[in-house]
Structure 1
Amino acid sequence: MLTAKQHELLVFINQRLDQSGISPSFEEMKEALDLKSKSGVHRLIGALEERGFIRRLANRARALEVMKMPESANARGDNVTRPAPVKKAKPQIQIQIPVAANDVLEIPFHGKIAAGVPIEALEGQNSLSVPMALLGAGEHYALEVSGDSMMEAGILDGDYALIRKADTARDGEIVVALIRGEEATLKYLGREGQQIRLDPANGSYQPQYYAPHEVQVQGKLAGLLRRYH
């Protein structure tokens, strides 16, 4: 099922593809749906992609393909839509268009996270502008790195870690781990016997061991932003 906004965006994208063969920009989608920021568009696109209504074409900026269209709202007038049977659409000509330098998204910024000894996880109301090219599918947020325990992985104190929300991860992936519901840290995830191991990327630090119930994965590293002073 789709929400009204998801349905509205899907129809808009499909109409633009029919008219020009080119996906609308995030700015055009934001204006068409009367949204306050592009982050809302990003979330809608992610939801449509997860439900199989659209897909992003690999290695093509701003290239979307509509896979199926929903039926109209049901007879009761509910504010939802249901998928119609899949029909083979005519191939759309997709033109690669470079992402403009100012084509950015605003994602939630949740304060600092430790790349060292865990510190208190902060939840803020601020946002961070991020180039769309750094983000893939899914919902993202940003954290400021504090500490040097991940420096050998190229993650330095003061960097902004771009995190894709996830509650599971494979061994060897860099994750945001919430420890005992109170502290967060950025580490490689590992499993050793019956324990969760959080590995640093700095020989000066030792791995941290926890019982499985003490560690909750809250996201996986998707990218980094760095400021040079």
Structure 2
Amino acid sequence: MLTRKQHELLRFIQVRLEESGISPSFEEMKEALDLKSKSGVHRLISALEERGFIRRLPNRARALEVLRQPEDATSKPAKPASAKEITSRAPAIGRPANDVIEIPLHGRIAAGVPIEALEGQSSLPVPAALLGSGDHYALEVSGDSMVEAGILDGDFALVKRTTTARDGEIVVALIRGEEATLKYLRREDGMVRLDPANAAYEPQIYGPDEVEVQGKLAGLLRRYH
């Protein structure tokens, strides 16, 4: 038999999966259940997993699968009483996760030798579930230097606008104010190194005043023809 909080969390996860196909984040679960910290969510998740109600999908972030419902699932839970109540307690994140939004599509960006990132008036429809908070734009990938990171020629890179990034993050780097490329960002010995994810390509090294971060990779879209 589940505790009330375990029952609430299981129901909340199930509703989110039915609505969007994506598990709620730990922050969303914390807010929805009025918990003081994410550690409480971790304990509830572990308890549900041990009892065989859910399982975590390997190698995927925020991936939970509901395996079964408790025997009293047909009875009215004490709190919340309905899916509407459950979802209303989740934090507002802008658009619904299963909505589609239009983001600017700014030409092509090199995943090999840097090329100009063209400014354009086009837009790209993107499932809102692929984007977090913040302002985003898309660039079509050209080249194969990031294939070992799963980024292929013709993919659409979904980029969160930012001027800062940590070492090891994949960024859109504007080089000398003219050319843009998609690479891993590294800093060493006062220089900026842009690393490919393809052994056939060499790292690119620039002075700190030659490289400007214009965003970091938030997701990918791929079309199959």
Q: Compute the TM-score of the two structures, normalised by the length of structure 1.
A: 0.58
1:172 matched to which residue of 2?
Answer: 168
Partner residue of 1:152 out of 144, 148, 152? 148
Count of residues paired in the alignment: 144
Code of the aligned partner of 1:143: L
Work out whether 1:119 is the aligned partner of 2:111. Answer: no
Aligned residue number for residue 125 of structure 2: 129
Mapped to 1, the partners of 2:101 and 2:143 lie a distance apart of 27
1:228 matched to 2:220: no
Q: How does 1:40-51 map to 2 (within 5 A)?
A: none
Equivalent residue for 1:194?
190
Q: Take 2:193 and 2:209, find their aligned partners in 1: how far apart are those partners?
A: 12
**One-letter amino acid of the structure 2 residue matched with residue 211 of structure 1:** G
Asked whether the 8 Å contact 2:168–2:184 carries over to 1, the reply is yes
Root-mean-square deviation (Å) = 2.6
Q: CA deviation at 1:192?
A: 1.4
Question: For the residues of structure 1 that align with 2:117 and 2:106, how far apart are their CA atoms?
Answer: 8
Instruction: Provide the C-alpha distance between the structure 2 equivalents of 1:193 and 1:157, rounded to a whole number of angstroms.
Output: 32
Structure 1: which 5+ residue stretches go unaligned? Answer: 1-55, 64-91
Give the distance between the partners of 1:100 and 1:151, measured in 2 at CA.
28
Residues 148-193 of structure 1: CA distance to partner in whole angstroms, max 9, x if unpaired?
Answer: 0000000000000000000010000000000000000000000110
Q: Which amino acid aligns with 2:108?
A: K
Per the alignment, residue 32 of structure 1 pairs with none
The CA deviation string for residues 12-42 of structure 1, in whole angstroms up to 9 with x for no partner, is xxxxxxxxxxxxxxxxxxxxxxxxxxxxxxx
Quote how far apart the aligned CAs of 1:121 are: 1.6
1:10-89 equivalent positions in 2, closer than 5 A: 58-59=27-28
Q: Report the CA distance between 1:219 and its aligned residue.
A: 0.2
Question: Quick one: which of 82, 87, 95 aligns to 1:95?
Answer: 87
SS for the counterpart of 1:212 is coil
Alpha-carbon distance, 1:100 to partner:
7.1
Instruction: Give me the identity figure in percent.
Output: 72
Verify: 1:210 aligned to 2:206, yes or no.
Answer: yes
List structure 1 segments (4+ residues) > 2 angstroms apart after TM superposition: 56-60
The runs of 5 or more residues in structure 2 that have no matched partner are 1-24, 33-83, 91-95
Instruction: Kindly provide the amino acid, as one letter, of the partner of residue 200 in structure 1.
Output: P
Amino acid at match of 2:136: H
C-alpha distance in structure 2 between counterparts of 1:210 and 1:100, whole Å:
39
User: What do the CA deviations read for 1:75-130 (whole angstroms, capped 9, x no partner)?
Assistant: xxxxxxxxxxxxxxxxx954289x575x1010010010000000012100111000
